[in-house]
Amino acid sequence: MADTIRVGVVGASGYVGGELLRLLVNHRNVKLAIATSKQYNGEPVFRIHPNLRSFTDVQFTEPDATQLKQNCDFVFTAVPHGSAVKIVPSLIDASLKIVDMSADYRLKDPRAYEHWYRFAHPQIELLKSTTLGIPELYRDQIKTSRFVANPGCMAITSILALAPFVKAGFLDLEHIVVDAKIGSSGGGVKPTLGTHHAERYGVMRPYKPVDHRHTAEIEQELTNFAGREVRISMTPHAMNVVRGILCTIHCYTVDHVTNPQVWRLIRDFYQNCPFIRFVKDKKGISRYPDPKILPGSNFCDIGFEIDERMNRLLLLSATDNLMKGAAGNAVQCMNLMMGFDEREGLEFPGLHPI
Amino acid sequence: MADTIRVGVVGASGYVGGELLRLLVNHRNVKLAIATSKQYNGEPVFRIHPNLRSFTDVQFTEPDATQLKQNCDFVFTAVPHGSAVKIVPSLIDASLKIVDMSADYRLKDPRAYEHWYRFAHPQIELLKSTTLGIPELYRDQIKTSRFVANPGCMAITSILALAPFVKAGFLDLEHIVVDAKIGSSGGGVKPTLGTHHAERYGVMRPYKPVDHRHTAEIEQELTNFAGREVRISMTPHAMNVVRGILCTIHCYTVDHVTNPQVWRLIRDFYQNCPFIRFVKDKKGISRYPDPKILPGSNFCDIGFEIDERMNRLLLLSATDNLMKGAAGNAVQCMNLMMGFDEREGLEFPGLHPI
Amino acid sequence: MADTIRVGVVGASGYVGGELLRLLVNHRNVKLAIATSKQYNGEPVFRIHPNLRSFTDVQFTEPDATQLKQNCDFVFTAVPHGSAVKIVPSLIDASLKIVDMSADYRLKDPRAYEHWYRFAHPQIELLKSTTLGIPELYRDQIKTSRFVANPGCMAITSILALAPFVKAGFLDLEHIVVDAKIGSSGGGVKPTLGTHHAERYGVMRPYKPVDHRHTAEIEQELTNFAGREVRISMTPHAMNVVRGILCTIHCYTVDHVTNPQVWRLIRDFYQNCPFIRFVKDKKGISRYPDPKILPGSNFCDIGFEIDERMNRLLLLSATDNLMKGAAGNAVQCMNLMMGFDEREGLEFPGLHPI
Amino acid sequence: MADTIRVGVVGASGYVGGELLRLLVNHRNVKLAIATSKQYNGEPVFRIHPNLRSFTDVQFTEPDATQLKQNCDFVFTAVPHGSAVKIVPSLIDASLKIVDMSADYRLKDPRAYEHWYRFAHPQIELLKSTTLGIPELYRDQIKTSRFVANPGCMAITSILALAPFVKAGFLDLEHIVVDAKIGSSGGGVKPTLGTHHAERYGVMRPYKPVDHRHTAEIEQELTNFAGREVRISMTPHAMNVVRGILCTIHCYTVDHVTNPQVWRLIRDFYQNCPFIRFVKDKKGISRYPDPKILPGSNFCDIGFEIDERMNRLLLLSATDNLMKGAAGNAVQCMNLMMGFDEREGLEFPGLHPI
């Protein structure tokens, strides 16, 4: 097939940017054209992302809109929250297709930016027309979109587990608890005392245990699916791994539910979704989703258990936060936006053991 | 001081048994008299617990009731669930003081053993008269008891966080979620595929995510404090550390509560409790309880956060599962039962960093 | 291309077997035909290797020579040392091509089996005609071989670093020290007390610190390249990761050597070797080989440093023990034996961070 | 006993400083008087060292010589290399007893500072009169010293293993290889990209693999014991733990040696040394020294193995780098300097499992 597109990554020295590079250099329909980094301008990308040694000779360049427009067909913007709004509009104007990895376009309601980000969003119209990049929920829209906002890592992991049940009206919407566990790569590349190995190793450390910003994305989507306002109780924890998210979602059902009912619901909801796996076994040590086996893979593994005594439906979802939680999902969106095979570049099965 | 007692540990080759040995060999009022292990009979204890090399020359012996009665004043029974009922009564008859580490005497209601342990308890009268070994709740009773049942590790960690609020009537008792995270030592010393390093390292793995047996102990105690039946939603997870429990407890309050109210409540409740610390800081990276710093220490660190949007009270409690979750708490009980200083042998502050 | 071969893996429930399955199910020229396991006969392979969920429906079957002969063109034998000799000859007789993962055919000298394995080798003629599967050293031979013995993980990692320098006569052959560090997957899938997470986590534990069996393979190859007998000092250590080997090789040079000399030597030696990378940077945190970034990749990263004061040449080589140290290297051999692209199925670059 | 001294720690917010605080607050003969930190002036020490919560209310203060002189009898200086020379002389003049934790006074030869530290030492006379703080080698000198330089963590761990054999003339002094493995706390408290959890977790990373500065200390001491110049080959590696050093020391013996000879030699050499343990068992999983079990303890565990084929004597020594490698050893020195029991405050046995 003739389809090779030229792709740029803005903000390519961070962990999400680096994961995009990894996926792009091995993608059959992509030529990596530009990887920007102010800090590492002029350095080969493999100096920062040492796994790419021998895979590419691309060097980091200063971010430059003209260069991107001239040399790219598609751009991923992987810049900090609040920075994407400064570069995305001009890239859109230049007719580039774009997936933005930041939080700047995930929420529809500008007031939500004020509440959760203390940020007066300057592009309210663009917010409204942006497609949220969750292929399992918005595949058709993504296919025809030129601009997609990639969701937050804990948000997508939670939403994928909850959406079928909220839509089906199974749940007591007042008491949804998302207890999230996440590895250190989710916090980004910038060293701080809290991420210093001696301080971060071995922790089980709540961070932003109330009012975490991903709450807003989850509530937006669940509200959509419920048809009425939904609020959730979310608490993330830093855990002693580098990659991986487990969302343990404690819900109560409005009626008694059975295993076959739950099975049927999620299987029907996620037909033809190559990156959703259902994990619930009666034997073996891998009966539930576990992010341990997911590094490098694009799966969201979903499982559940019914707590009869409590009418509790326990939902479990696991991802690699840099893959289905970020770069992998974004490449999946690109594949859809460009008419490529949805799985292209995302076939890695993960490792066992690791 | 004349007070040196001779102490035996039955089941001393496991992790709880080994931690008891560590505490006992350095305890000013204790002479370690007997450490039993069928499997390692005749071996020096430091071959199995290598930290004790140069601390004791005691060797494992076969468990023998006569030996225990002749050579001990106090016995810890650290045998599997279902085995303690076979040895405890005769030790009681011999006028030994005892702390049992198993689950065999933690529940008051024999039907609870049938439900949670599939076990028809043979000593219903003894169940009723047994004191549950939570010094912060039952100090006076423990002081006068000759037989104490040490609580489960996740149970005590949860109960200590919840008791003040349940007693005070703060909480919506229908929606208490205990999301527990625990290290591998909590699973005991027996190797299995699930605990094999290559399989267990790096996991975030739910285990027994509904119907975990510690639920029964927690419900028993909360029911006591509430004055009416309380049921909880509990889900434990295996995490990538060896020691440590974090209980993230999601509750909803019946009324709006404030930080000072919560502070006052727990401070008042835990006056004069040397092993309860309150951890809630506005600065620094150690703002919440984190089991990372607790290995070897006997603290239960308790913190909280109020989620105004949800009327959620988030309680956080952390312990070393082998210390306040097992051996440390048991020695604290022994200290009370024998009239020693409650802190004796338990002064280790934990390490930073570790 | 018409070339699709049917491949069987004997002993597919272990870690090397599972890694072979992972590589084979994604290999363009391969159809996975048979995966044997006595223990898990009848189970789907993804129950044991959970990363393969949704990648294959193959189930484990009992090992059966007739089945293998009828349904396979190529077989990997991944059985314990001492077991391969029982099955390989009949597979050879059936005109299958084979890579054996065990130690049973790595050594040329039957006396070496007696010395290192306490094992009287029953097939001395076959030993002599077997090709050792190190593509970087024996590529042409492998291409024309029907039976290849895959080297040990620490052996290949050491040999690849040492061979160029031993061949060139750079080294004092009396004082070669191989200090190896390896993750837990190198010890296989069988749980023991020593591999129990609580015992194995956080170790820096020498094991078999003298007389380790991989010594024999390294000495055999170095003796070949030196043209005279070479003996080495090898000490492996168990380290706190699952995958990865770092060999720190301390050598002394017979003459003063310079950086450019060393560079030139290894670059010339390893021309056109797609899985050898040279890692020696002046900047950044990835200046030396580090197995951290290698899980899932087939690289052997080689670096060095010259210690002028001592005339010491420090060689550093890193691999994923299950990939270049086992399954990846074996698939590379299969590619050569079958005339496929040497890299096919082995393109995964590894992850950063992980 | 009347002996309570007032102790100050200069540079108390680092990891060595924090470990000193931990030991001092529980030391029977010590009152912690001053803990200085420019960065955290005014903060309670437990905000930075959270294990000390409830153990002390001391707050960090600005370092101030007058305050130290007025309020302390004994001072530990735990400041960066090159800073100690600026404060130690005035503290000596004020008749304080001092242990310096920096490298500034460990080497006797001022030219060594120029070679290894690029530093023209300003106090050559003081260098000569300083006692090196290795109690097992210089106990009597330390007892009568007012100023002691605490050795480097990898240096003391190596020296303790090598000294008996070098002194006895057992070793080929031309080919001593120290392959050291160390946890992240050895690199100090300052966050960098290389110590960022996502980058540092899971590494086996050589750092400063030739010309590491601790080489100088080791060579100085071995030269003393040999009576002629000794040079060694040293290579440290960053490993995936927080605390712990393992030195794997590969030596060649001048004559054939036997196990009993080696045993006798080290037992005789280290008579009455409470913090040296000999670890060499025939059974069990703890046959060799392993820093896994040492966190918080002050032991240097020493083991060995004889490689008959090579005339190699493999020495193994393990410490907690913050304890016997730093703060614990310094407190041991203080105990000797003050006439306290050598073990006081250092009785913690370490944990199993951990």
Which tens digit of pLDDT belongs to each residue from A48-95? 999 999 999 999 999 999 999 999 999 999 999 999 999 999 999 999
Does residue A126 sit in the same domain as residue A208? no
Option in A52, A352, A353 nearest C349 (CB): A52
What is the rounded CA–CA span in Å between residue B329 and residue D25? 23
User: For the domain that residue D79 is a member of, what is the CATH number?
Assistant: 3.40.50.720
User: For the domain that residue B286 is a member of, what is the CATH number?
Assistant: 3.30.360.10
Q: Provide CB contacts within 8 A for B251, sequence distance 6+.
A: B162, B165, B170, B171, B172, B175, B176, B177, B312, B313, B314, B315
Q: Rounded to whole angstroms, what are the CA distances from D318 to B25, C203, C240, D299?
A: 23, 11, 16, 8
Mutation for A interface: C27, C316, C352, most A CBs within 10 A: C352
Contact across the interface for A233 and B312, Cβ inside 8 Å: yes
Model confidence pLDDT, tens digit, residues B90-130: 999 999 999 999 999 999 999 999 999 999 999 999 999 99
Strand ranges of the sheet holding B5-10, from the earlier edge strand across to the other edge = B60-61, B30-36, B5-10, B74-77, B97-100, B147-149, B131-132
Model confidence pLDDT, tens digit, residues A210-259: 999 999 999 999 999 999 999 999 999 999 999 999 999 999 999 999 99
The whole-number average pLDDT for the span A99-120 is: 97
- On whether the CB atoms of residues D23 and D328 are closer than 8 A, the answer is yes
Does residue B184 sit in the same domain as residue B87? no
Quick check: is B352 in a domain?
no
pLDDT at position D1: 46
A36 band by pLDDT with thresholds 50, 70 and 90: very high
Model confidence pLDDT, tens digit, residues A156-207: 999 999 999 999 999 999 999 999 999 999 999 999 999 999 999 999 999 9
Give the residue numbers in D contacting B (CB under 8 Å), as ranges: 15, 18-19, 22, 25-26, 47-55, 184-185, 242-243, 277, 279, 281, 283-284, 286, 290, 293, 295-297, 299, 347-354
pLDDT at position A157: 98
- CA–CA min distance C294, chain D (Å): 11
Output phi, psi for B53, to 5 deg: -55, 130
What is the rounded CA–CA span in Å between residue A162 and residue C138? 55
> In this complex, how many residue pairs, one in chain A and one in chain B, have their CB atoms less than 8 Å apart?
143
Find the closest chain D residue to B281 by CA distance: D47
Residues of B annotated as catalytic (active site), given as ranges? 153
Does residue C135 sit in the same domain as residue C210? no
Find the closest chain C residue to A301 by CA distance: C53
- Indicate if the pLDDT at residue B2 is higher than 90: no
Q: Provide CB contacts within 8 A for D149, sequence distance 6+.
A: D99, D100, D104, D105, D106, D130, D131, D132, D133
- Indicate if the pLDDT at residue B1 is higher than 50: no
Quick check: is D206 in a domain?
yes
Quick check: is A349 in a domain?
no
pLDDT at position A3: 83
Model confidence pLDDT, tens digit, residues B14-70: 999 999 999 999 999 999 999 999 999 999 999 999 999 999 999 999 999 999 999
Find the closest chain A residue to B216 by CA distance: A309
Q: Provide CB contacts within 8 A for B71, sequence distance 6+.
A: B6, B8, B33, B34
Does residue C144 sit in the same domain as residue C162? no
Q: Measured between beta carbons, which residues in chain C are less than 8 angstroms from residue B242?
A: 197-198, 201-202
The angle that helices D259-269 and D153-167 make with each other, rounded to 10 degrees, is 120
pTM: 0.98
Does residue D311 sit in the same domain as residue D244? yes
Quick check: is D354 in a domain?
no
Quick check: is B53 in a domain?
yes
Find the closest chain C residue to D285 by CA distance: C194
Q: Measured between beta carbons, which residues in chain C are less than 8 angstroms from residue B200?
A: 197
Quick check: is A353 in a domain?
no
- CA–CA min distance B242, chain D (Å): 5
Find the closest chain D residue to B240 by CA distance: D354
Q: Which chains touch B (3 or more CB pairs under 8 A)?
A: A, C, D
What is the rounded CA–CA span in Å between residue D14 and residue D20? 10
The whole-number average pLDDT for the span B214-228 is: 98
- Indicate if the pLDDT at residue A108 is higher than 50: yes
Option in B190, B198, B241 nearest C242 (CB): B198
Half-sphere exposure of B223 (CA within 13 A, CB side): 13
pLDDT at position C3: 83
Q: Measured between beta carbons, which residues in chain B are less than 8 angstroms from residue A308?
A: 210
B3 band by pLDDT with thresholds 50, 70 and 90: confident
> Residue C42, exposed/middle/buried by CB under 10 A (0-12, 13-18, 19+)?
exposed
- Paired residues of C32 in beta bridges: C7
- Indicate if the pLDDT at residue D2 is higher than 60: no
What is the rounded CA–CA span in Å between residue D54 and residue B300? 12
Half-sphere exposure of B9 (CA within 13 A, CB side): 30
B168 band by pLDDT with thresholds 50, 70 and 90: very high
Does residue D205 sit in the same domain as residue D300? yes
Q: Provide CB contacts within 8 A for D211, sequence distance 6+.
A: C307, C309, D116
Q: Domain span at residue A296?
A: 154-319
Contact across the interface for A53 and C283, Cβ inside 8 Å: no
Does residue A167 sit in the same domain as residue A263? yes
Quick check: is C348 in a domain?
no
Short-list B284, B294, B278, CA closest to B352: B294
**Residue D89: cis peptide before it, omega within 30 degrees of 0:** no
Contact across the interface for B200 and C202, Cβ inside 8 Å: no
What does the pLDDT profile of chain C (354 residues) look like in tens digits? 448 999 999 999 999 999 999 999 999 999 999 999 999 999 999 999 999 999 999 999 999 999 999 999 999 999 999 999 999 999 999 999 999 999 999 999 999 999 999 999 999 999 999 999 999 999 999 999 999 999 999 999 999 999 999 999 999 999 999 999 999 999 999 999 999 999 999 999 999 999 999 999 999 999 999 999 999 999 999 999 999 999 999 999 999 999 999 999 999 999 999 999 999 999 999 999 999 999 999 999 999 999 999 999 999 999 999 999 999 999 999 999 999 999 999 999 999 999
- On whether the CB atoms of residues B299 and B245 are closer than 8 A, the answer is no
- On whether the CB atoms of residues C351 and A51 are closer than 8 A, the answer is yes
> In this complex, how many residue pairs, one in chain C and one in chain D, have their CB atoms less than 8 Å apart?
142
Three-state secondary-structure class, residue D206: strand
Short-list B303, B192, B291, CA closest to B243: B291
A2 band by pLDDT with thresholds 50, 70 and 90: very low
Option in A198, A233, A291 nearest B204 (CB): A291
Provide the ipTM. 0.97
Q: Measured between beta carbons, which residues in chain D are less than 8 angstroms from residue C291?
A: 204
Option in A49, A52, A349 nearest C26 (CB): A349
Give the residue numbers in B contacting D (CB under 8 Å), as ranges: 15, 18-19, 22, 25-26, 47-55, 184-185, 242-243, 277, 279, 281, 283-284, 286, 290, 293, 295-297, 299, 301, 347-354
What is the rounded CA–CA span in Å between residue B198 and residue C195? 8
Looking at residue B322, its amino acid is L
- On whether the CB atoms of residues B198 and C190 are closer than 8 A, the answer is no
- Percent of chain D's residues with pLDDT above 70: 99
Q: How many other C-beta atoms are found inside a 10 Å radius of the C-beta of residue D260?
A: 8
Looking at residue C89, its amino acid is P
Contact across the interface for D184 and A197, Cβ inside 8 Å: yes
Query: Of D72, D153, D300, D333, which residue is the catalytic one?
Result: D153
Option in A202, A285, A292 nearest B202 (CB): A292
Q: Measured between beta carbons, which residues in chain A are less than 8 angstroms from residue D17?
A: none
- On whether the CB atoms of residues B236 and B176 are closer than 8 A, the answer is no
pLDDT at position A1: 46
Option in D50, D299, D352 nearest B18 (CB): D352
Give the residue numbers in B contacting C (CB under 8 Å), as ranges: 15, 183-185, 187, 189-193, 195-198, 200-202, 240-242
Find the closest chain D residue to A186 by CA distance: D198
What is the rounded CA–CA span in Å between residue A296 and residue A284? 23
Query: Of C72, C153, C247, C251, which residue is the catalytic one?
Result: C153
Does residue D38 sit in the same domain as residue D139? yes
**Residues D37, A203, D200: CA angle, nearest 5 degrees:** 80
Number of domains in chain D: 2
Option in D205, D312, D353 nearest C198 (CB): D353
Find the closest chain A residue to B233 by CA distance: A310
Q: Measured between beta carbons, which residues in chain B are less than 8 angstroms from residue D277?
A: 53-54
Does residue B180 sit in the same domain as residue B131? no
Model confidence pLDDT, tens digit, residues D215-265: 999 999 999 999 999 999 999 999 999 999 999 999 999 999 999 999 999
Does residue D140 sit in the same domain as residue D52? yes
Quick check: is A97 in a domain?
yes
Does residue B330 sit in the same domain as residue B219? no
Does residue A279 sit in the same domain as residue A168? yes
Contact across the interface for D191 and A193, Cβ inside 8 Å: yes
